[in-house]
């Protein structure tokens, strides 16, 4: 019945804790990087670089970490920050990049 991977991927998250922000029947992106992170994760799973469920597990874990870390000083919630953390983790787990490569790119410590 489901013919499009994109549709399957988003439908699988509906009603669960990792469901993406949306309004008026469409996805909501606050900025271009959120859109990129979303598109990259779906494309990698669609093309078989990892299972969608592997990514979702990391996303749910990232959301859980954020929730457990709640203090009065916890920064405002941003769904796509968790998404990006999950994407990095999944890419590292599946050898699509290395901590060194990432560090070299972003200038951050690995």
Partner 1 sequence: MSDRFQYPNDREARSAARAKALEALLIEKGIINATTVDTVLKVFETRMGPFNGAKIVARAWVDPAFKQRLVADTPAAIAELTDLPEGMAGAEGEHMRAVANGEGVHNLIICTLCSCYPWPVLGLPPYWYKDPTFRSRAAREPRAVLKEFGLDVPTATEVKVWDSSAQIRWFVIPERPAGTEGMSEAELAALVTPESMMGVAVANAA
Site track 70-89 with partner 1 (rule: CB under 8 A), x = hit: -----xx-x-xx--x--xx-
Q: Report, in Å, the least distance between residue 57 CB and partner 1.
A: 19
DSSP assignments along the chain, one per residue:
----HHHHHHHHHTTSTTPPPEETTEE--SSHHHHHHHHHHHHHHHTTSS-HHHHHHHHHHHHHHHHHT--TTPPPP-HHHHHHHHHHHHHHHTTSS-HHHHHHHH-S--
Rule CB under 8 A: say whether 54 interacts with partner 1. no
Report the residue from 17, 18, 38, 109 that binds partner 1 according to the rule CB under 8 A. Answer: 38
**What is the nearest approach in angstroms of partner 1 to the Cβ of residue 54?**
16
Distance CA 87, CA 24 (A): 26
Which residues contact partner 1 (rule: CB under 8 A)? 1-4, 6-7, 10-11, 14-15, 19, 22, 24-27, 31-40, 42-44, 46-47, 49, 75-76, 78, 80-81, 84, 87-88, 91, 96-97, 101-102, 105-106, 108
């Amino acid at each position: 019945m489901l013919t499009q991977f994109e549709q399957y991927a988003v439908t699988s998250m509906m009603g669960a804790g990792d469901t993406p922000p949306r309004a008026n029947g469409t996805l909501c992106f606050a900025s271009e990087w959120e859109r990129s992170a979303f598109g990259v994760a779906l494309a990698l799973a669609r093309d078989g670089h990892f299972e969608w469920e592997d990514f979702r597990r990391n996303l749910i874990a990232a959301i859980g970490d954020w929730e457990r870390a709640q203090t009065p000083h916890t920064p405002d919630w941003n769904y796509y920050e968790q998404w990006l953390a999950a994407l990095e983790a999944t890419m590292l787990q599946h050898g699509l990049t290395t901590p060194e490569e990432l560090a070299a790119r972003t200038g951050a410590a690995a």
